Amino acid sequence: MTQNPGEFKPSRRDKLRPAEYVGGAAIAAIFTGVVVLVTARELTLALIVAGIVFIVVLVVLALLSMAIKPNADEVAEINGDEPNPGDAPGDGGPAAPNTPGH
């Protein structure tokens, strides 16, 4: 299976982003499970609470990641457009209105 020249290729960071979410949720679940285990001294209760915390944190992280609106560079990358080399992020372009000195 070959890719078309204009087809989107995710970066390594984009590929590892789901692992970051699962890892963060796992760390929160392990921490909470250990706290419950130390305080209540019941393994079953600690495992149940850790599972609930894992699911809740994972869902919250997924919802927060969907709430972020992609910037112009990301949209251009997804659409396969080439960004203009003269357009630095945040410079307002070559004819930015209301800029001092223009």
As a whole number of angstroms, the distance between CA 58 and CA 64 comes to 10
Give Cβ neighbours of residue 61 (< 8 Å, ≥ 6 apart). Answer: 21, 24, 25
Per-residue pLDDT band at 17 (split at 50, 70, 90): confident
Q: Which pLDDT score is estimated for 100?
A: 59
Average pLDDT (74-83) is 72
As a whole number of angstroms, the distance between CA 81 and CA 63 comes to 28
Average pLDDT (8-26) is 87
> What's CA 6's distance to the chain center, in Å?
24
What are the distances in angstroms from CA 33 to CA 42, 61, 77? 10, 19, 41
As a whole number of angstroms, the distance between CA 102 and CA 100 comes to 6
Average pLDDT (24-40) is 97
